[in-house]
């Protein structure tokens, strides 16, 4: 069975390689508190098309190098840059 995971690109400084952070929710066995665990995977990106912050889907594959066992299938989405909203200055109302 082929494993597929979805995560966020946190580094793309290497040639044809990206680091993808995958978050999962884990429950503590005794206290039952839920917390997130982040795991980083190195994935093969043949065309160097992934940018930092992209949401991507990675698939497990044969070993490509010492650390790489995942391949980027397709970018799931690219986050849109946030627009800064300027607050309007209160206009002085003139009393006639």
Give the C-alpha separation, 90 to 31, whole Å.
51
* CATH number 3.30.9.10 is the correct assignment for the domain at 4-77: no
Tens of pLDDT, residue by residue, the chain (96 residues) = 889 999 999 999 999 999 999 999 999 999 999 999 999 999 999 999 999 999 999 999 999 999 999 999 977 666 666 666 566 666 666 665
pLDDT at residue number 37: 98
pLDDT at residue number 80: 62
- For residue 45, what are the CA distances in angstroms to 4, 48, 65, 80, 84? 15, 5, 13, 21, 32
Give the C-alpha separation, 65 to 74, whole Å.
20
pLDDT at residue number 23: 97
Give the C-alpha separation, 48 to 65, whole Å.
17
pLDDT at residue number 51: 94
């Amino acid at each position: 069975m082929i494993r597929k995971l979805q995560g966020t690109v946190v580094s793309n400084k290497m040639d044809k390689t990206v680091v993808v952070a995958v978050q999962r929710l884990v429950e503590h066995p005794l206290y039952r508190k839920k917390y997130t665990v982040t795991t980083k995977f190195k994935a093969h990106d043949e065309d160097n098309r992934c940018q930092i912050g992209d949401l991507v889907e990675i698939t497990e594959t044969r070993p490509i190098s010492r650390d790489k066992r995942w391949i980027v299938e397709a970018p799931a989405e690219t986050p849109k840059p946030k627009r800064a909203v300027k607050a309007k200055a209160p206009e002085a109302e003139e009393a006639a």
